[in-house]
A and B are shown apart, each in its own frame.
Chain A
Amino acid sequence: MNTVYQKRIDREPSSIRIGLIPIFSVMIGSMLVLFIPYIASMPLLPPLGLMMLIAWRLIRPGLWPIWIGFPLGLFDDIFSGQPFGSAAFLWSLVMIFIEIMDNRFLWRGFWQDWLIAAVSIMLALIGGLLINNIIADAGNLTILLPQIILSIFLYPLVLRIVAWLDRKRLTT
């Protein structure tokens, strides 16, 4: 048999790769702020770390325990500029919310998943603003509108990237 196929048939990718690709992809999503060399004078860029997390959660329901939002949120807090603990709190809530939705609505398709993701993103962004308002006055909800719309419409693209990563993760 061809050596190319010998390498691919009946082989499992290493468990490190299976486990780490999802986590690293979310962490890179959180850090992407550093690689986009744009100094934004208003909040516009979508919360890519959170969107990656939601996409992984909806594509692979059993991949992570429910509490995964906490550690990944802590990492996001380092780079997001929110008060420390904000993402750890909000991402935990988002994961619980998706878990409840997962149990309640068993028959879902792409559109329903998108709706769940949109609601989650919206809750997280508005929650972030409210937390900022408690600690320091950070303006009203209207400044979030462009960011929320952009994030919701960018979600399918993130989903695509996650699906591609998932394929790379599981095939040798």
Chain B
Amino acid sequence: MRFPLKSRGLAHAIPWSIPILVILVWQVLGDWGIISTRVLPTPVHVLEAAVQLVQDGELFDYTAASAKRALIGFLIGGSLGFFLGLINGVFPPAEKLLDTSVQMVRTIPHLALIPLVILWFGIGEEAKLFLVALGVLFPIYVNTFHGIRTVDHGLIEMGRVYGLRGFALFWNIILPGALPSILVGVRYALGVMWMSLIVAETIASDSGIGYMATNAREFMQMDVVVLSILLYALLGKLSDGIAKAIERRWLQWHPSYSKQ
């Protein structure tokens, strides 16, 4: 659909109207004393806390620490999941050997391993990376495997007749065919990534946004607690936006993702 410039600006604003409205109502209710600031600080207070933490440099340090963990954990778990999905999807003997085991491990809620993980790794970086990687691994595995298995067989046959073998067949036909499914896995995994990280950082950490929230709770700094929660929301939205941009770029050919 085509909008004239003015209404197109409006169309961009619509998704944000509800969050903005909620913040305004929240501010007004806080100002009028209907919501006690001990229960929930007003947005202005949260903003002040943010400014304070930015000036201290803490906010950036903690956000950077969290983002780094999220990214490294995602890369480790994501590449393992992708690799497993790949060999199980391409080589049926590998699937026979590995799939049952992977599916069994998959059904364990990975956050249930936290006590064990703390005993193994303490509260160091490894514990968080382990949990994030474990959480990310399975959505990517399942979707990569499914994507590869559902590539149109006719296209693979065509590729073989036209002389594509081995890696060329994989690169030109199997991987692009599986990509929509793999990217669905990536988006889902990004959600799991933040969730795992929040839990891990809240329970056992000495840096990061989760640590900032736990610490603030000790000192009854409600504004910092709320700020941490909002930060997670923003980071989650940001990573989802990046994933969407990747989809639009890599799946231009796909009718569902093409610009209209």
**A-B interaction:** no
Q: Which residues of A contact B (CB under 8 A)?
A: none
